[in-house]
Amino acid sequence: MTTLTLEQVSAGALEGVNLELRGGEIVCLSGPSGSGKSRLLRAIADLDPHEGAVQLDDTPQGSVPGHLWRQQVMMVPVDSQWWSEQVGEHFQPPPVGVPDALGFPADVMAWPVSRLSSGERQRLALFRALVRQPKVLLLDEPTANLDEALIEQVEAWLKAEIRRQNLVVLWVAHDSAQIQRVADRHYRLAGSQLEAVHGNH
Ligand SMILES: Nc1ncnc2c1ncn2[C@@H]1O[C@H](COP(=O)(O)OP(=O)(O)OP(=O)(O)O)[C@@H](O)[C@H]1O
C-alpha cells in the first residue's frame, strides 16, 4: 500500500507537521482563508519551498526531479491550467469516454478550452488528474466551482475512484457537510499547527 509521510514539515506559518497518509484513505484539511492549506499542498507537490521531509514510500521528495515527483504526487488546484486549444489535447491517449457523473456530452474532447465554464474546467481537471494514475492526489477545494446538484455526484465519483485506485488523498474543503461525507480523517489548520478533528466534523 502507498504511504506518503510528512516529517517536521514547515511551510509558511505551519510548523513541524507530521503526518502519515495511506492509500485509499481520504484526509480532509480545513481552516480559515489564508491559513496555509494551499501552501501545504504546494509544498507536498514540490511546488513551494519548505523545511522537513516528504517521502512517498521509500522515495524522498528531494531525490526526484520536481516534474517526475508531480507525476506521482499530483495537485489539482482550484484554478486548473490548460495549455492547448482543444480539451482532448490535454488527454494522452484520449480517454474512451468521460464518466457520466461528470455530466458532459460525448463530444467534450472536441470542445475548445476557451468555452469551458469554471465548473467544467474543474471537473475536467479532476478527470485529467485521475486518468494519469498518480499515487497521491492533492485536491484543493475540488468542488468549489460546482453547483449543488453536481457537488455530491462528483464527490461520489471521486470517492469511488480514490478507493478503486487506492490513492493517497489530501482534500481541502470548507464545507463541513462535505467533510462529513468524504473524510476518513480530518485536520484543521490552527495557527502554526494541524489539529486533528475527531467525531462530529
Ligand atoms: N509563495 C508565497 N510566498 C509568501 N507567502 C505566500 C506564498 N504563497 C502563499 N502565501 C501566503 O501564505 C498564506 C496562506 O496562503 P494559502 O494560499 O495557503 O491559504 P489557504 O489556506 O489555501 O486559503 P484559501 O482558503 O483562501 O484558499 C496567505 O497569507 C498567502 O498570502
The complex scores an ipTM of: 0.91
pLDDT tens column, 83-140: 999 999 999 888 888 999 999 999 999 999 999 999 999 999 999 999 999 999 999 9
Ligand 1 pocket test target in 39, 141, 172 with most atoms within 8 Å of CB: 39
User: How are the residues of the chain apportioned to helix, strand and coil, as percentages rounded to the nearest 5?
Assistant: 35, 30, 35
Please list, residue by residue across 133-161, b when 16 or more beta carbons sit within 10 angstroms of its beta carbon and e when fewer do: ebbbbbbbbbbbbbeeebbbbbbebbeeb
Which residue owns the Cα nearest ligand 1 atom 31? Answer: 34
What residues does 74 pair with on adjacent strands?
A: 137
Within 6 A (CB) of ligand 1 lie: 12, 31, 33-39, 48
- pLDDT beyond 90 at 149: no
Which residue owns the Cα nearest ligand 1 atom 4? Answer: 12
pLDDT tens column, 13-36: 999 999 999 999 999 999 999 999
**Which three cell numbers mark 155?**
464527490
The ligand 1 atom at the shortest distance from the C-alpha of residue 39 is: 18
- Report the pLDDT value the prediction gives residue 96, as an integer from 0 to 100: 86
- pLDDT beyond 70 at 201: no
- Report the pLDDT value the prediction gives residue 136, as an integer from 0 to 100: 98
Helix (H), strand (E), coil (C) string for 47-64 = CCCCEEEEEECCEEHHHC
Average pLDDT, the chain: 95
For residue 186, report the phi and psi dihedrals to the nearest 5 degrees: -140, 130
Ligand 1 pocket test target in 29, 38, 139 with most atoms within 8 Å of CB: 38
Which residue owns the Cα nearest ligand 1 atom 6? Answer: 12
Instruction: Taking residues 65-77, report their average pLDDT.
Output: 97
The 8 Å CB, 24+ separation contacts for 103-108 are: 103/150, 103/153
pTM over 0.90, yes/no: yes
How far is ligand 1, taken at its centre, from the CA of residue 174, in Å?
Answer: 15
